[in-house]
Amino acid sequence: MLPPTISDLETVFSSVISLALTAAGLAAFVMLIVGGFQFLTAGGDKETTQKAQKTLTYAITGLVVALSAWILLNFLGNFLGLDFSTFSICLPGFAPAGLSSGCL
């Protein structure tokens, strides 16, 4: 088995980010379902209805924040000419064989 390299860290980081975004979307979806179920089963109870509305509001707010962050990063990436969708580690003075710079 080969020892781990810097490129392995980049793969792990990309996987963690992808997993976090998937988990955020799944959590928001589940909270929308829970809030809707609470709202439907409130039966006119004012306190339960308010709790359900808060759950729905927080779920929608979470979705809006996550989507806004994604849109902002894409916009800034296009505007500045940077690619925020990839993660690379640049080590000064380190240029492995086959690469002209220290970026992996």
What is the percent of the chain where pLDDT is above 90? 29
Can you tell me the mean pLDDT for 75-95? 72
pLDDT at residue 81, rounded to an integer: 80
pLDDT at residue 98, rounded to an integer: 54
The ranges assigned to domains in the chain are 19-80
Full-model pTM: 0.66
Minimal CA–CA distance to 40: which of 56, 25, 28? 56
Q: Residue 49: pLDDT band by 50, 70, 90 thresholds? A: very high
Look at 65 and 60; give whichever has higher pLDDT. Answer: 60
69 CB contacts (<8 Å, ≥6 apart)?
Answer: none
Q: Which long-range contacts (CB under 8 A, 24 or more apart) does 66-75 make?
A: 66/21, 66/24, 66/25, 66/28, 70/21
